[in-house]
Amino acid sequence: MSGHSSRGLVRPFAQRLLSADLPGLSHAQRDQVAAFTVQRVDELPSVLRLGVEIIAAPMRIVVAIPGSGRAITWLIHHPLPLVGEYVRMIRSLAYTYIWEQWPLTLPDGSSPR
Amino acid sequence: MKHASTTGADAVTHAPATEALYDAEVLIIGSGAGGATTAALLAEAGFDVLIVEEGDWVEQGTVVPFSLDQMNRQYRSGGVTVALGLPSIAYTEGRCAGGGTEVNSGLYRRPPAELLDRWRTQYHIRDLDPDEMYAIAEEVETALNVTPVPGAVSPASTVLQRGADALHWQNSESPRWMKYPAGGSAASGQRQSMTRTYLPRAQRAGARLLTQCRVRRLSINGTRASDAEVVLADGSPGRIRFRHVFVCGGAIHTPALLQRSGLRERIGDTLAVHPTVKLAARFPDPINMPDDVPVHQVKEFAPEISFGGSASNPGLVALSLADNWGQFSHALQDWERVCVYYAAITSEGKGRVKAIPGLRDPLVTYHLTARDRQMLRSGLSRLALLMLAAGADEVYPSYHHAPIVRSTADIAELQRSFATTKATVMTVHLCSTVPLGEHPRCAADSFGQVRGMKNVWVNDASMLPDAPGVNPQGSVMAFAVRNARRFIGTERPRG
């Protein structure tokens, strides 16, 4: 595994995806889940990680553009080739983590009262 | 010269600042179903055996099965590995002492007689005697305590049985390598994986085990390999000299290591898998068993299509619903009534494993054929039908924009809208990257000896000629024992 972290590329997108999918998730939880997804991306096999970072880089740019919310929402709900696989991977990691850590989480990400 | 410790959990030795040097008559790379059995048989025959394992020794009971903690500690890359293609296929590999046997479902199937016959004729495998293979299978089954569940199976397993019976589809309980306490139930079994069976047996016979040791490459001179360059637990380099080497690192890392060592001919070109698609189904009553899997399998359409159940803790249920979260997510609130099931196919597609210079891990690709895509569609549709027949009130197929299936009428919409490019396709069975046989496509001879090499063997899932259409561990172990015995019959221990 290479020494650098993909945190700068993956974390902002993971947070944006979680905000869109699970608006009830608290900031602290969102940060924790995003950190987990970054950790898993950092552990990917080298070839796969390289591919993920190639896709993540333009996605990171899109996330940084002011007013790109609708574009992001569209991207995360349409299974585009390659980009769709990246979205699916981040979402899969995040959901698995959330419902293993907090199994009572409601479908919108909020905690039961 | 340094020697690894001969105990199990304490097996790690640390290297000094300079390169550590080990000697072994037989080096076995990998400690899974192939490597562990090979080690036990060779050590008992008097060979000086050193097993190296890239992962750690993780004692059973110290991790929750199918949890993220287990993924961290016992799977390669935290369980996130992918064969690239359209669609890409997610797969998992064990990376720990005992390999995949520590983390898989523990379901056991003998290689079917017709499969052995086909392999023998199609791949020209010499001396492949079904009687011998079944005698070995019996031996393995005794060693692993292969047995059905005592008493009632889990409700999630009963679902498969009930649905299949209602449709008059062939189904059966798959036995597992488990030991159950007297009066025990489905949930009380202890898996008889390699760390409980063949690895201790190998160690009792004098084999040494070095865990957290990654083999970078083999040094090859002409037709012989002489030593292995390794990286030890603390990151320091080491070297292992040997007379013979068995590469048993699994269907991805066995060919990758051989390629990094300069052996490329016919190696890694014929990856075979059982692609699977899945769905979640909700029933009127609780059926979920978070840390176990159903033991029934539906074989009505085998070997082309098989159905079974997956682990279904809340995280994995969420994962299976994620492709159409907006429509499916309500089911998660009833996760105790939900379980995940799969349809697996025998694929005609092929994949490749390619070591890339400068990169630690190989590139893995897999391409489904048009027939495969059709089989996956058909498999998922029939699985939905099976769930309805078992009494499911809602079925959630795992692909983008999938419909909720509540009646047989909804299955038509499933068939219409399904596409593999929209689906989560995955596999846990990978094989055939160094196939054995005398056929020109085979990379190893009929007993796993790598072509052109005098002292390099493969003895793991890589050697299976193609995907067996059943859980492959029984086939891997039967071939591994057969090949190890052939080796013992032709080579003599140094004494």
- Give me the residues paired with residue B229 across strands: B217, B239
Residue ranges of chain A whose CB lies within 8 Å of a chain B CB: 1, 21, 39-40, 43-48, 50-51, 78-79, 81, 84-85, 88-89, 91-93, 95-100, 103, 106-107
Question: Residue B172: what pLDDT?
Answer: 96
Kindly tell me if the per-residue pLDDT of B4 is higher than 50.
Answer: no
Residue B363 touches chain A, beta carbons under 8 Å: yes
Question: Residue B17: what pLDDT?
Answer: 57
**Which of B313, B317, B362 is facing A47, going by the closest CB pair?**
B362
Question: CB-hemisphere CA count at 13 Å for B286?
Answer: 6
Tokens of A41: 């991306």
pLDDT tens string B429-455: 999 999 999 999 999 999 999 999 999
- CA–CA min distance B328, chain A (Å): 9
How many angstroms separate the CA atoms of A89 and A105, rounded? 20
Question: Residue A3: what pLDDT?
Answer: 64
Ordered by start, the domain boundaries in chain B are 20-57+96-145+192-267+431-490, 147-189+275-427
Question: Residue B28: what pLDDT?
Answer: 98
**Which of B315, B329, B361 is facing A45, going by the closest CB pair?**
B361
Closest CA to B258 of B339, B180, B353: B353
- Give me the residues paired with residue B178 across strands: B191
Pairing outcome for strands B237-247 and B456-458: parallel
How many angstroms separate the CA atoms of B385 and B328, rounded? 18
| Interchain contact, B323 vs A88, CB within 8 Å | yes
* Average model confidence (pLDDT) across chain B: 94
| Whether residue B429 lies in the annotated active site | yes
Mean pLDDT, to the nearest integer, of B356-382?
Answer: 96
Can you give B231-298 as a three-state secondary structure string? ECCCCCEEEEEEEEEEECCHHHHHHHHHHHCCCCCCCCCCEEECCEEEEEEECCCCCCCCCCCCCEEE
Other C-beta atoms closer than 10 Å to the C-beta of B16 total 11
Mean pLDDT, to the nearest integer, of B281-297?
Answer: 94
Spatial contact of B252 and B362, defined as CB atoms under 8 Å apart: yes
| Interchain contact, B322 vs A91, CB within 8 Å | yes
pLDDT tens string B143-194: 999 999 998 899 999 999 999 999 999 999 999 999 998 888 877 889 999 9
Residue B167 touches chain A, beta carbons under 8 Å: no
Instruction: State the amino acid at position B411 in one-letter form.
Output: I
| Interchain contact, A1 vs B360, CB within 8 Å | yes
| Interchain contact, B333 vs A100, CB within 8 Å | no
**3-class DSSP state for residue B351?**
strand
pLDDT tier for residue B13 given thresholds of 50, 70 and 90: very low
pLDDT tens string B50-83: 999 999 999 998 999 999 999 999 999 999 999 9
Question: CB-hemisphere CA count at 13 Å for B426?
Answer: 22
User: For domain B147-189+275-427, which CATH number applies: 3.40.720, 3.30.410, 1.10.3210, 1.20.1260?
Assistant: 3.30.410
Please tell me the CATH code under which domain B20-57+96-145+192-267+431-490 is placed. 3.50.50.60
